[in-house]
Amino acid sequence: MSSPNAESTAFRSALEVIRAVEPRVAGAIAAELADQRESLKLIASENYASPATLLAMGNWFSDKYAEGTVGRRFYAGCQNVDTVEALAAEHARELFGAAHAYVQPHSGIDANLVAFWAVLADRVEAPALKRAQARQVNDLTEADWFALRRELGNQRMLGMSLDAGGHLTHGFRPNISGKMFDQRSYGTDPATGLIDYDKVAEIAREFKPLILVGGYSAYPRKVNFRILREIADSVGATFMVDMAHFAGLVAGKVFTGDFDPVPHAHIVTTTTHKSLRGPRGGMVLCQPELAEQVDRGCPMVLGGPLPHVMAAKAVALAEARRPDFADYAQRIVANAQALAEGLLQRGARLVTGGTDNHLAIIDVTSYGLTGRQAEQALLDSGIVTNRNSVPQDPNGAWYTSGIRIGTPALTTRGLGTAEMDTIAELIHTVLSQTTAGANADGTGSKAKYVLDPAVADKVSRQASELLTGFPLYPTVDLT
């Protein structure tokens, strides 16, 4: 443990130093802490990193170029970067029981790009080099190189559909993954809202993807990764899992056995800043046979590594290996279930009827609202959420019909199941008192809404009262 005042002193001193150069930046940093302290944050993808994690990022590691991997750098003088990168990778391997960890990706999207190109290199490029008896791409003839580029651009990916909770980087056209791969997606059973594994197997048999992707940003249930791996094996696909959202639940051993992706997938990607509660960043875990290709992430698709962020990853992963992190992960799920139960009891409709992870999706059409109207009305009332599609969403991806709520952040603050019931009451009050608005010509609007400001004010006050009992960063006093 650091001494009682160390954290306050550290942040206060940092602000003093920054203020002397550009006071507006120091002001914005302090204002951000104040805003976060006041907001009832139910954004499922956000969290609050520890002071140690935050402080590990603000230092001279930022000055270093360190292309390459531990012990094999293209730049001299990387011994200290080697220390933190090796530590972060070791903590990641131990925490997740992974054979190999690559901790350089700057974000979740970058981790996915590293994974896609590692698989393409292993399964398309390496065999082509072998056929041409070339050691590396520069040795290929123009004709062989042209053929390889076409082959690399002609591969298939199967992932979860966006409206069922998949992510844009799993082969959708607006993202580069959709431009790289011919993509198809699997959804959920309209009756239950759950993944229909027989259907996934059927699509896989017909489509024969190179990569089968599991993982999601907005699916409120466990996924059986053992079954998905069997499906991948049956069609010769590489099985990749993007656990960006639920890495904290894997780390905290809430998801074990068939529901732990690490032993089942060939390659696993994640962010480090969502339920895992580390710095903003990404990471790739993989089986030994993909390790060499994964380690080529920089400069294949990544810019130079961020050693200061790798230092923070090492700190956060060390925290996640402590027993209290498993307790935290259990509480995230208990809170999500209490919040879901509180909403159901008050008559709300949830996608799949509940949750067994850190998030729930409220289908707000039962309140006569679009996701956009609900999101704004909640925000007016001091409750921060985000709108989200529901399966087969009638309102499309912009307006949507759902509200996604998640508990990793509030659980870090210390809120428990009793508070979740209060929050369910606040959410239900706002949604049931909000009505859809009309356009100037009298037609129904998908964006406008009517909410009595007195209701919004009252809920805002109740929300901030609830938070006063659970101070954010209680060890940090900037005054």
Ligand X SMILES: *Cc1c(COP(=O)(O)O)cnc(C)c1O
Residue 171 · residue 157 · CB < 8 Å = yes
Our answer to whether residue 271 is catalytic in this structure is yes
In the bound state with ligand X, the residue whose beta carbon lies nearer, of 68 and 278, is 278
Of the residues 88, 89, 109, 204, which one makes contact with ligand X according to CB under 6 A: 109
x/- binding map, residues 227-246, to ligand X, per CB under 6 A? ---------------x-xx-
Residue whose token pair is 């980087």 = 169
Choose the catalytic residue: 65, 184, 346, 417: 65
Does 107 bind ligand X (CB under 6 A)? Our answer is: yes
Rounded Cα distance between 253 and 338, Å, is 20
Which region, judged by CB under 6 A, interacts with ligand X, from 107-115, 154-162, 173-181, 184-192?
107-115
Q: Which of 282, 285, 265 is nearest to 95 (CA)?
A: 285
Our answer to whether residue 242 is catalytic in this structure is yes
Site for ligand X in 28-67 (CB under 6 A): 45
Rounded Cα distance between 121 and 297, Å, is 11
Site for ligand X in 428-467 (CB under 6 A): none
Rounded Cα distance between 170 and 160, Å, is 7
- CA distances to 48, 146, 277 from 166, rounded to whole Å, are 24, 33, 21
Residue 365 · residue 380 · CB < 8 Å = no
In the bound state with ligand X, the residue whose beta carbon lies nearer, of 178 and 437, is 178
Our answer to whether residue 65 is catalytic in this structure is yes
The secondary structure of 409-458 as a DSSP string is HHHHHT--HHHHHHHHHHHHHHHHH-EEEE-TTSPEEEEEEE--HHHHHH
Our answer to whether residue 253 is catalytic in this structure is no
In the bound complex, what is the minimum distance in angstroms from residue 415's beta carbon to ligand X?
23
In the bound state with ligand X, the residue whose beta carbon lies nearer, of 269 and 287, is 269
In the bound complex, what is the minimum distance in angstroms from residue 94's beta carbon to ligand X?
23
Of the residues 68, 215, 252, 307, which one makes contact with ligand X according to CB under 6 A: 215
Of the residues 47, 271, 381, 385, which one makes contact with ligand X according to CB under 6 A: 271
Our answer to whether residue 163 is catalytic in this structure is no
Residue 182 · residue 155 · CB < 8 Å = yes
Query: Number of residues in contact with ligand X, rule: CB under 6 A?
Result: 14
State which residue has the least CB distance to ligand X.
108
In the bound complex, what is the minimum distance in angstroms from residue 245's beta carbon to ligand X?
5
Q: Which of 86, 133, 468 is nearest to 314 (CA)?
A: 86
* DSSP H/E element including 388: strand 386-388
Is 168 annotated in a binding site? The answer is: yes
Which residue pairs from 347-350 have beta carbons closer than 8 angstroms and sit at least 24 positions apart in sequence? 347/428, 348/424, 348/427, 348/428, 348/431, 350/220
Which region, judged by CB under 6 A, interacts with ligand X, from 214-222, 306-314, 376-384, 395-403?
214-222
In the bound complex, what is the minimum distance in angstroms from residue 243's beta carbon to ligand X?
8
- CA distances to 132, 359, 385 from 145, rounded to whole Å, are 10, 46, 48
Is 264 annotated in a binding site? The answer is: no
Our answer to whether residue 150 is catalytic in this structure is no
Please report, as ranges, the residues that interact with ligand X according to CB under 6 A. 45, 107-109, 167, 169, 215-217, 242, 244-245, 271, 282
Q: Which residues are catalytic?
A: 65, 67, 242, 271, 274, 280
